[in-house]
A and B are shown apart, each in its own frame.
Chain A
């Protein structure tokens, strides 16, 4: 992989060699993958990282295909990541914003899906505020659906890019201890990461106040900590979650300053983690709420910028593998 990074055609060659058919028609949940499939996806994504670091980043794997971004919830970051991924693969990319477009005025999600399906998109990237929305939509369309976040349920491409960032930083995921910290209860990022990281052999801890911990989370095969000191002790990766400010009004925690004092990541708390530990955050960050700028901006410990870069590569891998499956199925 490193050798190919300097030779444009070699990067493309590696991609073509590693390209495979996605195990399912849709990518709705991180738990849909088994360990070898997840590893294959990460290998493919690695090859895309190499391509993305070249001047010429374009490929024709999705030539003629239409990628539709359907974001019922706003997200500049994820939407542009998918848009870029699609364009680099040669797809025609359309961004639908149902909030402002006439497509969805008074329409149900299913009606919107059926309407858009008539435009024959091959790949439909969906974000929605309701858990299960992507799954519901996938039942009504003929193309492949990628879940770009459904309510508090899953955000599987985020888990994939997180795993890619970890694997590239440590050379492996298996055997690492990952502490996922903060508002686990409302986090789809946490749910997808718990699933994928465990599939890849990491041991996972969840750290946060009891009011932001899902019911019976210890049954997820993780250990649950309410204290950052014990939760971070010896951890290789500290993954911070975004605290939605509306949670404050919901009375889950009393104030941002109290939250930062006990659950915000700063140097002192990070010092409990293993030597060489890395810090992650899915973004956008609330600086001074869940994470101290001092930590977030330190290139030695922070993988936060890498995560954004890996996001495009991981999504290219998912889109390419889904399109490959469509092709094999003659669709």
Chain B
């Protein structure tokens, strides 16, 4: 493959969380890396053969890094393939994403990690990274080959949606993974309290007659996780925190200086339990949407840095799995294409400065995983997103590039249009018109 033409982005609003810069500027991209960055100045005479992209004041930021994406590959390719997810990612300005191991078969040994990463290598639209299972078959019993999977290239280990109920197993995982400096991602959920639930326990679910889960299920498990983390000194990524009471637990753990990080899904930042009114199964996600108080607390926690990372929690489910009675419908929502415009809502509402929002989907996940991406600095990989922050869009689920169209944002008015996405110096997406 011939090297792509060097690009010079000029006249942009440059947002780089690493240097803390948010202001006018430009970037020159050459041979897959960022060759030069201009902050508050213009480039001198550009060499011949450089294509100039006039950004017209649009935001130029590091490409987004999404730590929690599900596809259907392998095992359920009708839902989503790595390629279709990558295409959707490019349209959403996501340049790297981590696929979850709960596929069929599960990614729980080095050969499946290798298989996935080989498949991923042929896909140009995005960098596809992979998480390995923490336990064999995601059963929560025996430890998976964490060391070998790390060697094969997995970036962290997790049992995805399945909580690891056995405290002994969880303790060993934290402790063993430490030897490979590997992060264990865990979604805290007490499986006994959560059994059979489809909505958040409270007045609303009770009125709707839906089987429900108390948010307490999250806090109880997180309290255990933190206690064991304290004992082992491992590294923990709290996957998709959703409740105010669990935030208190997280706050205490961070204050103690434990190596703990937390993510929140875009769905829990944008929706609350009322969005499942009329039994809207497209708003059925796992963990379930919480009350408005919890949503506000999550936004606050993101603003003050208690929560580090925002994920799309992209979980494709075809219509036949969604158009069912609420308690039977599959949970999950696609999110790769709507992550950035939805997140920008918090900027437009003046809840968070733009640079802090961008950090949570670029530098923060990159630093956590030790990636070179997620920053705009000379020598860094040329993964960029160009976005018109103010452009109004109406999300049309039918037009999403994901194979599955299960978006709770369908019909929503958002502000922020991805104009161009660059991966490894190549333009992988350009907005129509």
Q: Which residues of A contact B (CB under 8 A)?
A: 108-110, 128, 130-133, 135-136, 150-154, 185, 188, 191, 214-217, 219-220
If A108-B320, A215-B201 touch, whether A132 touches B207 (CB-CB below 8 Å) is no
Which residue of A110, A132, A151 has the most chain B CB atoms within 10 A of its CB atom? Answer: A132
Judged by a CB distance under 8 angstroms, whether B325 is at the interface is yes
Contact B202 A130 (CB under 8 A): no
Q: Give the dominant DSSP class at A's interface.
A: mixed
Which residue of B201, B203, B205, B206 has the most chain A CB atoms within 10 A of its CB atom? Answer: B206
Which of B27-35, B208-216, B264-272, B301-309 contacts the other chain?
B208-216
- Selected from B202, B206, B279, the residue in CB contact (under 8 A) with A132 is B279
Residues of A within 8 A of B413 (CB): none
CB-defined A-B contacts under 8 Å, sample of 8: A108-B323, A109-B324, A128-B325, A131-B210, A131-B327, A132-B278, A150-B209, A215-B205
Contact A110 B327 (CB under 8 A): no
Contact B320 A191 (CB under 8 A): no
CB-defined interface of B180-204 with A at 8 Å, one 1/0 digit per residue?
A: 0000000000000000000001110
Contact B206 A214 (CB under 8 A): yes
Contact A132 B320 (CB under 8 A): no
- Selected from A188, A217, A219, the residue in CB contact (under 8 A) with B209 is A188
Contact A215 B203 (CB under 8 A): yes
Residues of A within 8 A of B278 (CB): 132, 135
| In the bound complex, CA of A217 to CA of B212 (Å) | 14
Contact A191 B209 (CB under 8 A): yes
Contact A153 B208 (CB under 8 A): yes
- Selected from A109, A219, A220, the residue in CB contact (under 8 A) with B325 is A109
Considering the complex, give the chain B residue whose CB is closest to the CB of A217. B206
- Least CB distance from A120 to B in Å reads 22
Query: Which residues of B from 323 to 372 have beta carbons under 8 Å from A?
Result: 323-328
Contact B205 A132 (CB under 8 A): no
Contact B203 A130 (CB under 8 A): no
Contact B323 A219 (CB under 8 A): no
| In the bound complex, CA of A297 to CA of B325 (Å) | 38
Considering the complex, give the chain B residue whose CB is closest to the CB of A195. B207
- Least CB distance from B294 to A in Å reads 15
- Least CB distance from B329 to A in Å reads 9
Contact A215 B209 (CB under 8 A): no
Contact A219 B324 (CB under 8 A): no
- Least CB distance from A153 to B in Å reads 3
Apart from A109-B325, A151-B209, A188-B209, what are 20 other A-B pairs with CB-CB below 8 Å? A109-B324, A128-B325, A130-B325, A130-B328, A131-B209, A131-B279, A132-B210, A135-B278, A136-B324, A151-B327, A152-B210, A152-B211, A153-B208, A185-B206, A214-B203, A214-B207, A215-B202, A215-B206, A216-B202, A219-B203
| In the bound complex, CA of A4 to CA of B205 (Å) | 46
Contact A132 B325 (CB under 8 A): yes
Interface residues on B, range: 20 to 34
- Least CB distance from B178 to A in Å reads 39
Contact B203 A132 (CB under 8 A): no
Nearest 9 pairs between A and B by C-beta? A130-B325, A132-B279, A153-B209, A152-B209, A214-B206, A216-B203, A131-B209, A133-B325, A215-B206
Residues of B within 8 A of A188 (CB): 209
Residues of B within 8 A of A216 (CB): 202-203, 206
Contact A136 B209 (CB under 8 A): no
Residues of B within 8 A of A150 (CB): 209
Contact A108 B324 (CB under 8 A): yes
- Least CB distance from A30 to B in Å reads 12
Which residue of A188, A216, A220 has the most chain B CB atoms within 10 A of its CB atom? Answer: A216
- Least CB distance from A232 to B in Å reads 23
Contact B326 A191 (CB under 8 A): no
CB-defined interface of B374-394 with A at 8 Å, one 1/0 digit per residue?
A: 000000000000000000000
Residues of B within 8 A of A215 (CB): 201-203, 205-206, 212
Which residue of B209, B278, B323, B328 has the most chain A CB atoms within 10 A of its CB atom? Answer: B209
Considering the complex, give the chain B residue whose CB is closest to the CB of A188. B209
Contact B326 A131 (CB under 8 A): yes
Contact A110 B209 (CB under 8 A): no
| In the bound complex, CA of A133 to CA of B278 (Å) | 10
| In the bound complex, CA of A128 to CA of B209 (Å) | 13
Considering the complex, give the chain B residue whose CB is closest to the CB of A130. B325
Considering the complex, give the chain B residue whose CB is closest to the CB of A154. B209
- Least CB distance from B101 to A in Å reads 29
| In the bound complex, CA of A220 to CA of B327 (Å) | 23
Considering the complex, give the chain A residue whose CB is closest to the CB of B321. A108
Contact A220 B207 (CB under 8 A): yes
Residues of A within 8 A of B323 (CB): 108, 110, 136
Residues of B within 8 A of A135 (CB): 278-279
| In the bound complex, CA of A108 to CA of B324 (Å) | 7
Considering the complex, give the chain A residue whose CB is closest to the CB of B319. A110
Considering the complex, give the chain B residue whose CB is closest to the CB of A218. B203
Considering the complex, give the chain A residue whose CB is closest to the CB of B280. A132
Residues of B within 8 A of A214 (CB): 203, 206-207
| In the bound complex, CA of A150 to CA of B324 (Å) | 13
Query: Which residues of B from 243 to 289 have beta carbons under 8 Å from A?
Result: 278-279
Residues of A within 8 A of B205 (CB): 215
Contact A136 B279 (CB under 8 A): yes
| In the bound complex, CA of A151 to CA of B208 (Å) | 10
Residues of A within 8 A of B328 (CB): 130
| In the bound complex, CA of A192 to CA of B328 (Å) | 23
- Least CB distance from B417 to A in Å reads 32
| In the bound complex, CA of A188 to CA of B206 (Å) | 11
Residues of A within 8 A of B201 (CB): 215
Query: Which residues of B from 205 to 237 have beta carbons under 8 Å from A?
Result: 205-212
Query: Which residues of B from 122 to 143 have beta carbons under 8 Å from A?
Result: none
| In the bound complex, CA of A130 to CA of B196 (Å) | 13
Residues of B within 8 A of A220 (CB): 207
- Least CB distance from B369 to A in Å reads 39
- Least CB distance from B203 to A in Å reads 4
Considering the complex, give the chain B residue whose CB is closest to the CB of A190. B209
Residues of A within 8 A of B203 (CB): 214-216, 219
Which residue of A110, A130, A151 has the most chain B CB atoms within 10 A of its CB atom? Answer: A130
Residues of A within 8 A of B326 (CB): 130-132
| In the bound complex, CA of A150 to CA of B328 (Å) | 13
- Least CB distance from A96 to B in Å reads 17
- Least CB distance from A14 to B in Å reads 36
| In the bound complex, CA of A128 to CA of B320 (Å) | 18
- Least CB distance from B212 to A in Å reads 7
- Least CB distance from B266 to A in Å reads 25
